[in-house]
Chains A and B, each alone.
Chain A
Amino acid sequence: MTAAVAVPLSRGVRTAASARRLRALVLRYLLLLRRDASRVIDTFQWALIDVVIWGFLTLYVAGSGAQLPNALAIFLGAVILWNLFFRCSQDVSVSFLDDVWARSLVTVFASPLKVWEFAAAIMLLGLVKLALTLVVMAAAAWILYAFDFFEFGFALVPFIANLVLLGWTVGLVSLALILRFGGRWGILAWSLPVLLMPFASVFYPESVLPPFARAIAQAVPANHVFEGMRTAASSGEIAWGRLALASAENVVYLALASALVAWVFRLALRRGLLPKVH
């Protein structure tokens, strides 16, 4: 009698299989978006409410005689960018929570899926949802307040790219903490990105921060992005130095967050946490 034995696969076969698994997971989350109305509401509702509220506030501030040139660009641009960061962060952690809530983590990870493929899939999904959110918010800002978010043109790309990287980083950290400490820490998916907000200088310049907060803000890439955004809105110049600093910080933080996820996943395997996360 002979028996089949599992022989290691070639690199090409593995790459194709990885791509197929990534597609399968992205398909799953997109199907979820279609099937679960609450997910659609969650994706767009808060973003739209932010645009509406900050738009009115901006009109009020502008009408009160405050010396804030280009206030619409500063406030509405900021709120749109902040939501893009928040969306990216939340998509990573909530996609993981989806499996926790559905009690399907065991089913998913009993397949040949690797943890980096899982992370990559939910990050890719974040990009898709980010594009949808951006279109909806920009359209709302244009229709309601005649504010053209895309007036910055291609200069927006590096700003948004940096916020995407930071969103992925915060999302991965949330994911790692939820895997380590359980689903009851799911609240981190919403609260962790907000913790950065005071130091991100979203709606005010970093110069108003007290010295200790300003020191912290230097280590927050979003601070450089929003400062750069304000510079662009007021003077039309791109703060390349800020962007370079944000990019460098983001690369380091994303690498550290990825290492944290890998470490926690191995810890979860050793401690038998995966079947117990709920």
Chain B
Amino acid sequence: MTLTPVQPAIRVSELVKRFPHTTALAGVSFELRRGEVLGLLGPNGAGKTTTLHVLLGLVMPTSGSVRLLGADPFADRETALRQVGFTSPEALMDWRLTLRENLRVYAGLYGAPPGAVERALELFALAPHARTKFGDLSLGQQMRAGLARALLHDPAILVLDEPTSSLDPDVADKTRKLLLRLRRERGLSILYTSHNMAEVEEVCDRVIFLHLGRVVAEGTPLEVSKRVLGSEDLDAAAMEEVFLRISRGAVA
């Protein structure tokens, strides 16, 4: 890989995705800037998951485009996806293999450097569970294992779909702090979805709210709060209220 002038980590342009009976995305555009944490938010059915699946080359858009550090995941998935680490409660590993075995497989798929598996296990305090079958891990451990997998190959971009949804408050807090530290140390760009507005307010530099497949609000959490609520105060309760108003169609 070589260095060339500024590219956003992710560029999504006029993304439209129509399924036979529904339109999931109706012209979504946004950018994930280098080194930022961008919250992709919205109620169920807003189009978040479809957006993530398009970014990961799993669902082809009807029109529009996505670029990961300038690469198109549909034209050149190898160049595009080797830059990306991804985790989601829906994206599991093989339950019959141990955690270390699973990570070895994904290290091979992503071309992770030697020693990456052990480093990832240490990073997420999973070394004591390395020989446990993935299916025997608790949900929280599986979630951390997903994060360890996502970071194996030292990606430039992290796509995190509700990364703390199964974690207890203590581990969730530690995980958020770890992610922010990694962002700082490695210059990671992170696309983050969550229904936990306190977490969003803590972690995200900017947020995008989707509703019915469209971007209905975008900016820093404070900017969005000001626009939707007309309030200068920003806290978790304010973000929660923003979410509720958008979900109920009060913001067009």
Partner-B contacts on A (CB < 8 A): 1-9, 14, 17, 20-21, 23-25, 27-28, 31-32, 35-36, 98, 102-104, 106-114, 266, 269-272, 274-275
Contacts and interface: CB of A to CB of B under 8 A. Distances in A.
B106 interface: yes
Contacts of A25: 105, 108-109
Contact of A102 (B57, B77, B95, B109): B95
Nearest to A108: B109
Contacts of A5: 2-4, 7, 69-71
Contacts of B84: 110
B170 interface: no
Nearest to A8: B79
Nearest to B189: A3
B202 interface: no
Provide the main secondary structure of the chain A interface: helix
B82 interface: yes
Given A7-B4, A28-B105, A112-B109, A1 B34 contact: yes
A107 B92 contact: yes
Contacts of A266: 60
B101 interface: yes
Of A108, A266, A272, chain B has the most CB atoms within 10 Å of the CB of A272
Interface in B201-234: none
Contacts of A102: 92-96
B3 A112 contact: no
Contact of B6 (A3, A20, A107, A272): A3
Interface in B42-78: 49-50, 53, 56-60, 68-71, 74, 76-78
A111 B19 CA distance: 24
Interface of B: 1-9, 17, 19-20, 34, 49-50, 53, 56-60, 68-71, 74, 76-84, 86, 88, 90-98, 101, 104-111, 133, 149, 156
A272 to B, nearest CB: 4
12 contacts: A1-B6, A31-B105, A32-B94, A102-B93, A103-B92, A106-B53, A109-B57, A112-B109, A112-B111, A269-B57, A269-B59, A275-B58
Contacts of B4: 2-3, 5, 7
A23 B58 contact: no
Contacts, number: 155
A2 B5 contact: yes
A263 to B, nearest CB: 13
Nearest to B78: A112
A110 to B, nearest CB: 4
Contacts of B79: 6-9
A112 B50 contact: no
A110 B86 contact: yes
A17 B111 contact: yes
Given A24-B109, A111-B106, A275-B90, A6 B68 contact: yes
B89 to A, nearest CB: 10
Given A3-B69, A6-B68, A20-B108, A114 B93 contact: no
A112 B109 CA distance: 7
B5 A3 contact: yes
A111 B73 CA distance: 11
Contacts of B83: 6
Contacts of B104: 24, 27
Contacts of A31: 97, 101, 105
A237 to B, nearest CB: 47
The 5 A-B residue pairs with the shortest CB-CB distance in the complex, in nearest-first order: A24-B108, A6-B71, A6-B69, A269-B60, A107-B91
Given A112-B81, A272-B53, A24 B2 contact: no
A23 B82 contact: no
Contacts of B2: 5, 7
B60 to A, nearest CB: 4
B235 to A, nearest CB: 31
Nearest to B134: A102
Given A6-B70, A113-B109, 9 more contacts: A8-B79, A9-B79, A27-B104, A28-B101, A98-B94, A106-B90, A109-B58, A112-B78, A112-B81
A113 B80 CA distance: 11
A1 B6 CA distance: 7
A23 B104 CA distance: 11
A110 B91 contact: yes
Contact of A112 (B7, B95, B110): B110
Given A4-B1, A5-B3, A104 B93 contact: yes
